[in-house]
Amino acid sequence: MNLVLAVDQAEVIVYMYYVVLDLGCAECGESSNVLGIFTSLDKAKKARDEYKEVNKLDEYSDHEFFIYKIDTLDKVHQNSFEHLIGE
């Protein structure tokens, strides 16, 4: 979803990006992975679900999945909980 804001009669488009993270278990030797950056929440969820199916990861695996919503690239986001999409 893109938001359009009017600023002094100029049009500014704000893009939303959805970052999907697979957090593995370091103690168990399960790796972590950035699955991708997507332009919609639906695409992000679909990618996560397909990844879990292809890699046979279920609720008993040593992986947690997170989706973060960001609107700015090339920036360090100090508080990741502000951007976390709740499931």
Assigned domain for 38 exists:
yes
Question: Is 6 inside any structural domain?
Answer: no
Cα 79 from Cα 71, distance rounded (Å): 14
Query: SS in 3 state form for 10-60?
Result: EEEEECCEEEEEEEECCCCCCCCEEEEEECCHHHHHHHHHHHHHHCCCCCC
**Tokens coding 11:** 């049009």
Look at residue 87 and tell me if it is in a domain.
no
Q: What is the span of the domain harbouring residue 42?
A: 17-82
- Domain-embedded: residue 34: yes
Is the pTM higher than 0.95?
no
* Residue 7, domain member (yes or no): no
Report the domain count for the chain. 1
Q: What is the mean pLDDT of residues 70-87?
A: 83
Q: What would you report as the CA-atom Rg of the chain, rounded to the nearest whole angstrom?
A: 16
pLDDT in tens, 5-21: 555 566 667 789 999 99
Task: Calculate the average pLDDT of the chain.
Answer: 85
pLDDT in tens, 18-32: 999 999 988 888 899
Residue 29 belongs to some domain of the structure: yes
